[in-house]
Chains A and B, each alone.
Chain A
Amino acid sequence: MTSEFYSQHVIPLEGKIFRFSRRLLSSEDAAKDATQEVLLKLWRLRGQLEDINNIEAYAMTTTKNLCYDVLKSKHNKTLELVHSNYSAPSSCLSSEIEARDEVSLVAKFINELPEQQRAVIQLRDIEQFTNKEIEEIMNMNSTSVRVALSRARKKIISELKKTADYGIR
């Protein structure tokens, strides 16, 4: 019964969890690990999942917390992670194709944003969560969600306009 509930409600979320952690950790491999860990965590809690009214938001909160932990521990051992980080050998070809695309510029600009803005824009513009859900996930109030969102969007758009003006592609 509970495992059925899990496969019906949690497994479909794995894409969202993966994309969110990839955005926060900016590494494909680290995101895969984080996704596995979040899924495992939710599996352990499967008995209590039915009592949670918004599993999607709950899963995202778990993902956020885990990614922040990973980032925190990464800051503590930068030396160790310098070489193992930011590589995705499997997507070599796709990233090559992507590099010619203006779309990858957007990815670059998003990844240059502060952590919180990155998270908010991912949740809102890619995963289509409502502001209310984002407040819950990020533990922010409604004004700061809107401000973070607006800042992130303005920043990306101004960067995009700048590159378009200089003709750098």
Chain B
Amino acid sequence: MEFDKKYINQLLSLYEEGETTLEQEQELKMYFSSGNYDSDFEAYASLFKFFEKESNVQFKGEAAIEKKSSRYFWINIAASICIVLGGVWFYDYYENQQKLEEARLAFETTQNALNLISINMNEGLEKLEYVEVFSQQKNNLIK
């Protein structure tokens, strides 16, 4: 497309005043993106190129977040499996420990009971000595 330098100049001064319409600005953009602009307009060219480039910047926030979550997904699963296994193992261990404790308690109570009986029995034995003496004396007399 051919553009008249005078026309562009006029558009640019309108542009600086903020008086151009969007269509006229579009024309300026096209003029500068075509590449063969007048070297007097170098400053304007970099401005319009910048606008062109800026309007193509895209938002990439969401994609990054999705990627992150999919990577953490498997780590999450592994962690929960570890926790569940750990829980089961600990429960098992605790249960065993509980059983051992009960057995030890039962053993101790039995031992105590037996000890008590044996002490009482020994006390009874002492009394039996009198019976022994008595039967000896009796035998002496009867003989």
Q: Report how far A5 CA is from B58 CA in the complex, Å.
A: 21
What B residues does A102 contact at CB under 8 A?
Answer: 46
**B50 touching A106, Cβ below 8 Å:** yes
**B55 touching A153, Cβ below 8 Å:** no
B interface secondary structure, majority:
helix
Q: Report how far A146 CA is from B19 CA in the complex, Å.
A: 7
| 29 A-B interface contacts by CB (under 8 A) | A15-B58, A15-B59, A18-B57, A18-B59, A18-B61, A19-B54, A19-B57, A35-B59, A35-B61, A36-B61, A102-B46, A103-B49, A103-B50, A103-B53, A105-B46, A106-B46, A106-B47, A106-B49, A107-B54, A128-B22, A145-B18, A146-B17, A146-B18, A150-B16, A150-B17, A154-B16, A157-B16, A157-B43, A160-B47
Chain B interface residues (CB < 8 Å from chain A): 15-19, 22, 25, 42-44, 46-47, 49-51, 53-55, 57-59, 61-62
A interface secondary structure, majority:
helix
B18, B50, B55: the one contacting A149 at CB < 8 Å is: B18
Count class of interface residues, chain A: 20 to 34
What B residues does A14 contact at CB under 8 A?
Answer: 59, 62
Closest chain-A Cβ to B99's Cβ sits at a distance in Å of 55
Given A18-B57, A164-B42, CB of A156 within 8 Å of CB of B47: yes
Chain A interface residues (CB < 8 Å from chain B): 14-15, 17-19, 22, 32, 35-36, 102-103, 105-107, 110, 125-128, 130, 145-147, 149-150, 153-154, 156-157, 160-161, 164
